[in-house]
Amino acid sequence: MIHPVARARRKLRENAILEASWTIKQCHTSQELIAGLKRLLREHKYLSARLIDQDAHMPCAATVRLQFGTLRKAYKRAGWARTHRQMVIAAMKGRYQAERTAA
């Protein structure tokens, strides 16, 4: 049995998460997200969840996923339609090049 205080805290936490996710959904239009993805694609020549999460001007990849259903659908709308294998290879190349330039 869960203690009543713990149950109340959990309920408050759950409500805060729901309110935050609702606010996030309302703040970013599809056009804004697509424009951000196109900018990332121009700058980095590939797209990935990690790249989206690291960008200061984009919401997290989970928000993009919620808006479009999948990241692949969002990527396609931004003009980057690739197979899963091509996406993985591009992300690996991008990370490798970033590590080499940082060293």
The label of the residue with tokens 């001007």 reads 57
Residue ranges covered by each domain of the chain: 29-102
Structure tokens at 3: 């203690």
**What pLDDT sits at residue 3?**
74
pTM of the model: 0.65
Which 3 state secondary structure label does DSSP give 101?
Answer: helix
Give the integer Cα–Cα distance in Å for 70 and 91. Answer: 17
What is the tens place of the pLDDT at every residue in 40-62? 999 988 898 989 999 988 999 99
